[in-house]
Structure 1
């Protein structure tokens, strides 16, 4: 940031996956006492540098190979700094309650507040179950263990092309293109050894590694764009496979063969009612779970990166009246700032940092979609970061006053 500048402020967590890979590589085992001490030291070093807490991505490699005791021991290192624990939980589709409970248990045992990252109820098997998680969080808060969550306001999670579901056994990585998939399956039909090997790798991962199909299941996948066959849009892969009399993997391969243009999926179909039920919880803040880069880098795959906050203010506040404007703003500003220990930010008050967004409450709305996820929102008039305009009269100024912001605990 010092070298290139930034229009935005950034706060940082110490990331579990990064330090585990640094110390243990991709090892699928518990750490030795020496390795655990090395990771403890790295967490402590990060906190001394100004991190806000410790984060885990237990759904992904190599964090998926860790146990709760390892995570607790590392999280304890943030307690003397009044840091927090933030977790993308371990198995939020097939073991939703157990996974959210694990994150809460880590916070309790480590003696720090816990945050459930981009909380949601994903897939057919979890429809209507967000209420169970809400009860779990509220019970923990009543007992004195602070638990919060963040949420992006969409009915679908991560996005991918159909081909991203395919893992080729010989390379151990997802197929880069439709052509690569078709080439790998070119020596026979669904009974061929090639088909069986690709299916095994794609559905189970290689050597216990990550696989989208294993992680979220076909019942969580919904088609959001299919230029060659628009009738596919909105179809759940599992239900569509039943309609067509195919196994889900056979359906995936068939759709890749039948569609020359990419078929886009959300890998986490969410019920709209569940989105709304969570959105109103006072301990739930707004997030994007996304990133943004300038116009030379347009690798957007989800509308949340540019649309999350305007969508809440325009759609859920103004149009649907799910939230009041004041509560929505709190969930975007003072609440997350307070949770992260940024005590001089998040409120318009003398002595606080001048981080200000001016928007037209009658006009603000997201414009990003599944097919145009990088589209700018409307109605954001000015953005001031550390007292300087980075957006003025709806035009980017080019100024880069962003800083690494550190907690004041």
Structure 2
């Protein structure tokens, strides 16, 4: 396959260059000036007027449940990711795997996936695995030892990239528990990822804790969805704090999705008593996403009823300040990531619209950052963070994971009532040198692989 006449981002010069690309056996084998490719190729895509970008690398999303006893053909989340240009995704975030890394990767090894997948092992998943059913208590030394053994095996034998924490979801987790657990992998080159302990006025304290974890463990820390932590009047101070830690020499980065609302399960500790006072919001700012209440905004009675009767329902909380979300996305050490999560095809539009929304709204329409800056935050930056040296840029010998889009047309179409609508303007998505998507139609459902980071 060859792609001709497209504008290719060069992250060294931070400029676009019009060139032709030759692809063979899943790799970019040559890049040349227009009309000067040396190889002979059967297929041709004319990308004139289009951006030929590396596939988007989503460093923070939440994988679906798949397996031999589950209908894995739908890939509820990954297909939405694929349609918005994500070619490599990282699951197991916020401390939560939806099944074991072994089972998840095992199914992909056998059946393929719409996207390439990496996985964290989640701390909360490990807590459940060793029998902790009270999110408000700390683990015992015996339970930490059991978790540590599972974690070490997940990383050494199953290829998990590291350990993720979901501190807000299990308030009983102590700093001592965290540090004791990481002792079991102190000799391994892993990435830590963390959903903060508490948001809004507690954002600075929460970020300081994550920085301290990185400092004491010597491990790099990826702070998850910074907008939902700090976009309550705390963003500038939060960014200054992270910058100070980086200036100190600590390896701290963050990610953010481009929306002013978060989404999680209504039964989670996020919605414990006092949350509305913390956000200075009301029950009416909570949108229910599933039947029998799909599209309904809460009142106090309905909120309490659904929290009790449907604790696994995903809801959307409109509580953040969009201008602070934009401030985070513009920061040089913050990547664009979706935090995408669906349940039965319902949830938050970020799982279908994140990358096109940034490129269409924040780049083209609002001119908050340049096109090449935005693409960099979606490709080479997260790829480097994950140690994926063959992904994230258009160069010879790199993996042929590519998104071709119209910069004048690209925009998200998913909204809070229709959260899975595909975007506009993405012409092709290519994974492993194969056309996976053409004009919002999926052609190849199984081009993705499990990416195991073996230590």
Same fold? TM cut 0.5? yes
Distance 2:364 2:454 in 1: 35
Q: Partners in 2 of 1:282 and 1:397 — Cα distance?
A: 35
Q: Which runs of 5+ in 1 are unaligned?
A: 165-173, 175-208, 227-232, 238-247, 255-263
Task: State the TM-score, normalized to the length of structure 1.
Answer: 0.73
Provide the TM-score with structure 2 as the length reference: 0.66
Task: Provide the aligned length of Structure 1 versus Structure 2.
Answer: 332
Structure-1 separation of matches of 2:153 and 2:302? 49
Matched, 1:56 2:128: no
Unaligned runs of 5+ in 2: 1-107, 289-294, 306-313
Answering whether residue 144 of structure 2 is matched by residue 32 of structure 1, we say no
More RCO (CA 8 Å, sep 6+): 2
**How big is each residue's C-alpha offset from its partner over 1:159-215, in whole Å with a ceiling of 9 and x where there is no partner?**
67xxx5xxxxxxxxx5xxxxxxxxxxxxxxxxxxxxxxxxxxxxxxxxxx8361437
1:312 is paired with a residue whose SS is helix
Please name the residue that 1:283 is paired with.
333
CA-atom RMSD, angstroms?
Answer: 3.1
How far off is 1:267 after superposition? 1.9
Alignment partner, residue 195 of structure 1:
none
Which of 379, 397, 400 is 2:446 aligned to?
400
Please name the residue that 1:270 is paired with. Answer: 320
Alignment equivalent of 1:128, drawn from 217, 233, 251: 233
Does 1:110 find its partner at 2:217?
yes
How far residue 299 of structure 1 moved from its aligned partner, in angstroms, is 2.4
What secondary structure does 2:338 align onto?
A: coil
Q: Is 2:285–2:318's contact at 8 Å kept on the other side of the alignment?
A: no
Aligned partners of 2:111, 2:341: CA distance in 1, in Å?
Answer: 17
CA contact (8 A) 2:353 2:413 kept: yes
- Please give the alpha-carbon distance, in whole angstroms, between the structure 2 residues aligned to 1:329 and 1:316: 12
Contact 1:122 1:268 in 2 (8 A): no
Contact 2:228 2:261 in 1 (8 A): no
Moved more, 265-274 or 72-81: 72-81
> Mean alpha-carbon deviation: is it higher for 26-35 or for 51-60?
26-35
Partner of 1:350: 396
Instruction: Note if 1:146 corresponds to 2:255.
Output: no
Question: In 2, distance between residues paired with 1:253 and 1:17?
Answer: 24
Provide the C-alpha distance between the structure 2 equivalents of 1:36 and 1:265, rounded to a whole number of angstroms. Answer: 32
Output the CA distance in 2 between the equivalents of 1:22 and 1:129: 35
Match of 1:44 in 2: 152
Q: Is residue 30–residue 65 contact of structure 1 (8 Å, CA) maintained in 2?
A: yes
Compare the two structures and name the one with the higher strand fraction: 2
Give the 3-state SS of the residue equivalent to 1:98 in structure 2: helix
Q: Is 1:362 the counterpart of 2:408 in the alignment?
A: yes
Distance in 2 (CA, whole Å) between partners of 1:145 and 1:383 is: 36
Inter-partner Cα distance in structure 2 for 1:149 and 1:211: 20
Contact 1:315 1:365 in 2 (8 A): yes
| Structure 2 CA distance for aligned equivalents of residues 290 and 251 of structure 1 | 25
